[in-house]
Chains A and B, each alone.
Chain A
């Protein structure tokens, strides 16, 4: 138990971590206190429309006010930017400048940050942000970049249905297997979760990132020959009273979601009868036709006791508190899409299957096919199809420096690792000759580190201060902290170090101290990252020692009991 948990009641601690639902149509911020989440409103409203208006004069307006500027010639108004997040390199032309989806989303996040700070009366610096479970690697990276641009540290990206399940499960004390049906403005997700004794385990997830309530608007506009704006108003005015005409228009979309549900249940190896309930998420699930169809499919009345517009943000807030203040609960999520490599003939070789729990890694060995081949192209894709050109390209890189040898002799190990945010890192090395080459690639379609820095530089807040100086100062603080922590660890648990390990660490620490006095931030950051990597094994041994101490004489089952 952490000290914070036994603080005096009534004294509110400063919780700077919020939960954010960054939606296609609307976005929300929430905060949790002792597991009880609360929506942070702005101007008396819970929902912040995910709409950004750019004025000719450089003014930026977000939310309800932006929505009302649609017909104003002095403003360019952007709706549903979330639909473009997977295409992070795309540009939108706004008043002679080219904006990325990341920058536009950052404006929405900034508005939420300001809203939260106003409501709480203190600064907010960290957040858990939700993404559709079916978001690919590109869209996830882009979401993280947008948060960084908005001045928020992302503690974790969590999947929207998982956040909803957390909120529902904790509030209702639900146990067993539940489906979460999430139909948002622009995306559809379905997830199956097993909830028991504080473990929220995602069993399977599926979806369609190009299907949502926006499609209904589009169809209504087409059928009635009206504008999208008018169609949206028309849909909202219907409320719970859907006309047969409306139902006919949206039926094909609903059928598509139901087929995705069926396939997912089948892939999970479960029977529909084993599913205890279906939790509804997203404003579109208020449509009676959807409830009716889900009742037919699952044979149980869909659960909508928590507002489907708010449930995701509430879950994100619970997780933000859990990550910063400690919690007995644990979320175990999966990767939604398979990952693979291009092989001969444009075929995909799967390395990690979809619905594999994360964090996870997998290794595959390759060899050269020509004598003296010194380079090899590695093309990483995401998706379920057989051919490379039918999947989403993620990264392409050249592994060079393979020592000359006969074809088929080189052993090139390619490792895929997916972290707890669902983000992928690929590394490759050739190890026959012992000359190990290790490279780490970030997906190539996203924004480069330099681009993000440039954006930070360009942003209004940073223009006044000298960003180079600030970043260097931050790196020095970071380096100082890393060195101090490790020196302390060596003092306390030095006996856990292996032969030569202490010397290596001390050498690296001395180097960092020298670098910190200079002005080369990149070299300093690199050295600190290397030091932290070098220390990971030592840190694990320390973690194990403290666990052994805490559990002296108890076996793993006693631990399980203690925790549940």
Chain B
């Protein structure tokens, strides 16, 4: 399995040129998408499906900052995701997240918009921190900030769900 970054002709960095990623994603799909091989042989069609799937899978990872961070960390055998994780969030991070979650459970319908804006700002901030962490090769910090980003992303989803549940019909 080739490295996702080299698949898209990108240097292996957390900070990437998103426009260039998208451009190269389109260029690769133009070559390999199954639509281009409808008239091909059966093995060409299978090959195109496999290759196009691989391109989509890699794009899904690189175009999402959290997944991109997890991918880079996994290369150093640092796993922050799922049941196989080998790094845990710090006490400070857990406290911070608990405080934020409390805000959501206490929030009234009119508070949700502010809370959403807060989560969005914090998410941007986490991504900025990750860029610095990876640039300075501070992987422990990167792991902590990746976990922070993960909690915040989940938090934002929950705010959106709550917003929908209180919406007047």
Contacts and interface: CB of A to CB of B under 8 A. Distances in A.
B51 interface: yes
Q: Interface residues of A toward B: which range?
A: 35 or more
B137 to A, nearest CB: 28
A556 B56 contact: no
Contact of B49 (A357, A420, A486): A420
B46 interface: yes
Contact of A538 (B26, B29, B43, B56): B43
A330 B50 CA distance: 17
A420 B34 contact: yes
B47 A540 contact: yes
Interface stretch (A26-34, A296-304, A358-366): A358-366
A330 B53 CA distance: 15
A417 B35 CA distance: 17
A459 interface: no
B47 A536 contact: yes
Interface string B42-77: 111011111111001101100000000000000000
Nearest to A263: B164
B56 A539 contact: no
Contacts of A419: 34, 49
A322 B52 CA distance: 18
A528 B33 CA distance: 23
Contacts of A74: none
A190 B59 CA distance: 24
Contact of A266 (B33, B52, B160): B160
B77 to A, nearest CB: 17
A323 B50 contact: no
B9 A559 contact: no
A295 interface: no
Contact of B56 (A199, A255, A357, A482): A357
B42 A532 contact: yes
Nearest to A535: B43
B33 to A, nearest CB: 6
B23 interface: yes
B34 to A, nearest CB: 4
Contacts of B15: none
Contacts of B117: none
B27 interface: yes
Given A356-B60, A359-B49, A560 B27 contact: yes
Interface of A: 155-156, 199, 201, 255, 259, 263, 266-267, 322-324, 330-332, 356-362, 417, 419-420, 481-482, 485-486, 528-529, 531-540, 543, 547, 555-557, 559-560, 563
10 contacts: A324-B38, A360-B53, A360-B56, A482-B43, A485-B41, A536-B47, A539-B46, A556-B27, A557-B23, A563-B30
